[in-house]
Amino acid sequence: MREIIFLDKLRLYNLVHQDYNYESLFTKRQGANESEYGTHCSNIKSGYKPENTFDTHCKKSMTYLDKLDELDELDNGHSRDNKVIQGCIYLFFWLYEIELHKSIFNKNIVDIYKKLLNEYDQYNYRSNIKNICSEYIKDELSGNLKNLYYLYYKFYKLKTDNECKSRKCICAGNCVTLYMEYINSCDKDINGISCAKLEKFRSQYSQYMKDDVNCGKEYTDLPSAIMFDRKAFLISILVILVISFTLFGLYKVNINLNLI
């Protein structure tokens, strides 16, 4: 059983890359059934007292799922196509960032996402989107796995989001903050997958920043996610400091001797 869980986790990690403009699924023309979306959104928010923005974001999510369903059909019903699966993951974190992070939802993020999928299934019973998204957005999408997806979500926004075009360094700073936070916890993953995938992110991020973004080194040079490399990095810094202070001390001694 443990081996199966490990393989499933590895498969999920291998999906962490973005090669499709998912934001465009929100900006396309609103569907003719937007008024019907309202009924389903009311069902989703029952038991909560969300802000007025919830209905707008919920309807956008329903539109998004409609467009994602069209994408699934274009892929000839291959429900495990990475673009569709990643589309499910993208919506999850979009909802989290724009709405579900609020305290009113009491951290019931996955449950509300499931309610959204259930309501969409009621609305469009011929769709297979609920089954696809439910398989990959599970309660297990937490901890290091959730962190990794959210980090790539932020990286994706850095590269494609209109808001980031005029504030690249701010968006890059968001990635750096998350990365630095996550490398402190990835070592707890006994299989080593989390740190390895963070290291892969570091390589992709650093290359993108060097080639396409003009920000300071603090936004580009991320420390390694691999513990051995981090230790080596810290040791090298310590050695440099010791040598510097030693040379400075010898310099001061030499000056004092010359004055005698």
Same-domain pairing of 7 and 126: yes
Same-domain pairing of 99 and 215: no
Same-domain pairing of 203 and 238: no
In a domain, 43, yes or no: yes
How many domains are there within the chain?
3
Same-domain pairing of 36 and 124: yes
Same-domain pairing of 221 and 104: no
In a domain, 174, yes or no: yes
Q: What is the per-residue pLDDT across 186-234, written as a single tens digit (0 to 9) for each?
A: 777 666 678 888 998 999 899 999 888 888 888 888 999 886 444 444 4
Q: Is 225 exposed, middle or buried (0-12, 13-18, 19+ CB in 10 A)?
A: buried
Same-domain pairing of 254 and 204: no
What pLDDT, on the 0 to 100 scale, is given for residue 6? 44
Range of the domain at 161: 154-225
What pLDDT, on the 0 to 100 scale, is given for residue 43? 92
Same-domain pairing of 7 and 113: yes
What pLDDT, on the 0 to 100 scale, is given for residue 238? 56
What pLDDT, on the 0 to 100 scale, is given for residue 254? 61
In a domain, 146, yes or no: no
- Roughly what angle, to the nearest 10 degrees, separates helices 53-74 and 82-95? 180
Same-domain pairing of 10 and 133: yes
Q: Is 155 exposed, middle or buried (0-12, 13-18, 19+ CB in 10 A)?
A: buried
Q: Which of 80, 106, 141 is the last residue of a domain?
A: 141
What pLDDT, on the 0 to 100 scale, is given for residue 186? 79
Tokens (6 digits) for 101: 């992070």
Q: What is the per-residue pLDDT across 12-32, written as a single tens digit (0 to 9) for each?
A: 555 555 667 788 888 765 555
In a domain, 97, yes or no: yes
In a domain, 147, yes or no: no
What pLDDT, on the 0 to 100 scale, is given for residue 146? 80
In a domain, 148, yes or no: no
Same-domain pairing of 109 and 72: yes
Same-domain pairing of 120 and 86: yes
Tokens (6 digits) for 142: 């937490």
Same-domain pairing of 15 and 126: yes
Q: What is the pLDDT along the chain (260 residues), one digit of tens a residue?
A: 444 344 455 555 555 556 677 888 887 655 557 778 888 999 998 878 788 889 999 999 999 999 999 887 766 555 455 788 888 888 998 998 888 888 888 778 888 999 999 999 999 999 999 998 887 776 556 666 788 888 988 998 898 888 888 899 999 999 999 999 888 887 776 666 788 889 989 998 999 998 888 888 888 889 998 864 444 444 444 555 566 656 655 555 566 555 55
Same-domain pairing of 7 and 136: yes
